[in-house]
Amino acid sequence: MSKHLLIHPETNQALLSVLRNPPHAVMLTGNAGSGKEHIGRWLASKLLKTDINNHAYFLFLEPAVGKAFSIDQIRELQSFVRLKTTGSGDIRRVVLLTDCHMMTIEAQNALLKLLEEPPADTVLIMTVVGDKSLHPTVHSRVQKIHIRPVSEDQSQNFSPDIDRKLQDKAYALSGGDPGLLLALLEQNQGHALSVAINEGKNILSSSVFQRLTKIDEISKNKEGIEHLLIAMKRISKAALKQAISKDNTKLKQRWLNTLKSIHNCEKQTNVNSKLLLTDLFLSI
């Protein structure tokens, strides 16, 4: 496995198995922040045995920000795999589809037709948060690999030169999910969840009035709300763990209540975003 890839040993073995005997479709599952896209790109480059940047037979598809994975994108995929490939390798074309849990039913049905009659020289790599959002038949047509969180020891051994306090903080906030963990260690402000964590910290430390003034802006981006809730939950869990370790009953109760409010917010569907955020920001 690449020395530049922070990954759990069981995930490592599953990826090596795919490289030894490539299936026609692989589904990478894991938490938001587990690094599925990064691992998918790494896997694609290994399957094609070359750099995938500007590669003629590599296609990357993702849903537009705040929107579902559409039927039009699956049609683009279908057109791409109809093209004849050149070369002598067994695998000459790879498609990486990210955030497939956001795929419409229509798009899933179209994808199924391709999964049932896949081109012999092609591997589809899909990334999914959780594994319950897609039709069971889609699951039955793919080989799944779960991107597991890494251990604290793995994290420290991977980045021995980084300050130990920063490592401990990054691990607590990421829960060991490799993608977010590396973004926090490298202080990558371009990572969506890393940005959301900074926003979450700001909200949790603000007054109720200050929180409420942010609602109009936050509510414009549905995906941003999802990332914010994930980030606030991670921050609260890390803070709760610290409160327990210090036997601070007051802070322990505060973070338990915050986690309960976030959980209640996540359970609500088809609710106006502004009302949802208002209820949450008043209760935390």
> Over the stretch 112-134, which tens digit does the pLDDT of each residue have?
999 998 888 999 999 999 767 78
Distance CA 216, CA 111 (A): 37
pTM over 0.75: yes
Yes or no: say if 97 and 126 are a contact pair by the CB < 8 Å rule: yes
Describe the crossing of helices 164-174 and 222-245 by its angle, rounded to 10 degrees.
Answer: 120
In which band, very low, low, confident or very high, does the pLDDT at 2 lie, cut at 50, 70 and 90? low
Residue 131: what pLDDT?
A: 65
Q: Is the pLDDT of residue 3 over 80?
A: no
Sheet holding 93-97, edge to edge: 58-61, 93-97, 122-129, 25-30, 143-146
Torsion of CA 169, 170, 176, 179, to 10 degrees: 170
Q: What is the mean pLDDT of residues 220-231?
A: 89
Q: Report the distance separating Cα 175 and Cα 20, nearest Å.
A: 30
Residue 267's pLDDT band, with cuts at 50, 70 and 90, is confident
d(CA 76, CA 84): 15
Domain 9-146, CATH homologous superfamily name and number? P-loop containing nucleotide triphosphate hydrolases (3.40.50.300)
The distance of Cα 5 from the centroid of its chain, to the nearest Å, equals 16
Domain boundaries of the chain, sorted by first residue: 9-146, 189-283
